[in-house]
């Protein structure tokens, strides 16, 4: 997997690069808008970690450039906490995720892996599991012809489990992926439990199958044949 880290804070850039390299990524980096623009034009990457504020330009313009050139790249925006406008602009323009500084490397890694797995499924495709049908474009879930009504978080949790099927996912990784900066809240673990149990009950009541297994002391696993 090839990662391109666009970040002008040298220490953070080096930390991200070292962390991802240890996890098997081939990393390239740029600290200026000019270099980032040149590399984006010349090379293709599996994942781009994109800072918004750069010497010589704005990361949003780089995002627009990637979308104009139809780059098949997962994009995570990283920026300061107070950049709400940039966050909304980036997501509207097609970024896959957004993480605010400061953040844990484990959280960034969880976001990246979720993007890569989601893209490997084909994000605009219909996902079928037995008689379950998940439309990732319309964000609906059906069992046969009956729609299963889920909250936004239950839907996101369902998709996260499916993306990680047959893998144990920790409560911490679920928090990092679904709640981002709110994941450190002291009540977050209980929140994960409640959302998971509600999702589990809805799926069992419609399908008769308990796809979500508790792995005690570790987290949860989506199990299917």
Quick one: pLDDT at residue 117?
73
119-150 per-position pLDDT tens digit: 666 554 678 888 999 887 778 999 999 999 99
Name the residue with higher pLDDT: 178 or 41.
Answer: 41
Crossing angle (nearest 10°) for helices 84-92 and 59-68: 0
Integer angstrom CA distances of residue 210 from 42, 150, 168, 172: 47, 16, 15, 22
Kindly calculate the radius of gyration of the chain based on its CA atoms and give it in whole angstroms: 18
Euclidean distance between CA atoms 223 and 220, whole angstroms: 10
Nearest to 177 by CA among 88, 80, 93, 97: 97
Quote the Cα angle for 205-207-211, to 5°: 95
Overall average pLDDT of the 33-45 stretch: 92
Tokens of 148: 């299963």
Backbone angles phi and psi of 149, in degrees to 5 = -80, 115
Taking the C-alpha atoms of 105, 184, 169 and 207 in order, what is their torsion angle to the nearest 10 degrees?
-140
Residue 184 DSSP label: G
| pLDDT of 32 above 80 | yes
Whole-prediction pTM: 0.58
């Amino acid at each position: 997997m090839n990662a391109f880290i666009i970040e002008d804070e040298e220490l953070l850039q080096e930390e991200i690069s070292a962390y991802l390299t240890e996890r098997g990524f081939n990393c390239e980096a740029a600290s200026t808008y000019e270099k980032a623009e040149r590399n984006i034009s010349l090379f293709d990457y599996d994942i781009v970690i994109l800072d918004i504020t750069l010497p010589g330009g704005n990361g949003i313009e780089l995002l627009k450039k990637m979308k104009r050139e139809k780059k098949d790249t997962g994009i995570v925006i990283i920026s300061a906490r107070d950049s709400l406008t940039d966050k909304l602009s980036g997501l509207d323009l097609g970024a896959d995720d957004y993480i605010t500084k400061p953040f844990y490397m484990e959280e960034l890694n969880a976001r990246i892996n979720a993007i890569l797995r989601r893209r490997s499924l084909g994000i605009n495709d219909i996902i079928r599991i037995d008689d379950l049908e998940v439309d990732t474009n319309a964000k609906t879930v059906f069992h046969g012809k009956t729609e299963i009504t889920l909250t936004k978080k239950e839907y996101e949790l369902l998709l996260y489990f499916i993306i990680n099927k047959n893998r144990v996912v920790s409560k911490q990784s679920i928090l990092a992926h679904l709640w981002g900066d709110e994941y450190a809240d002291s009540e977050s673990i209980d929140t994960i439990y409640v959302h998971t149990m509600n999702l589990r009950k809805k799926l069992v009541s419609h399908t008769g199958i308990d796809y979500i297994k508790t792995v005690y002391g570790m987290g949860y696993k989506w199990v299917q044949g």
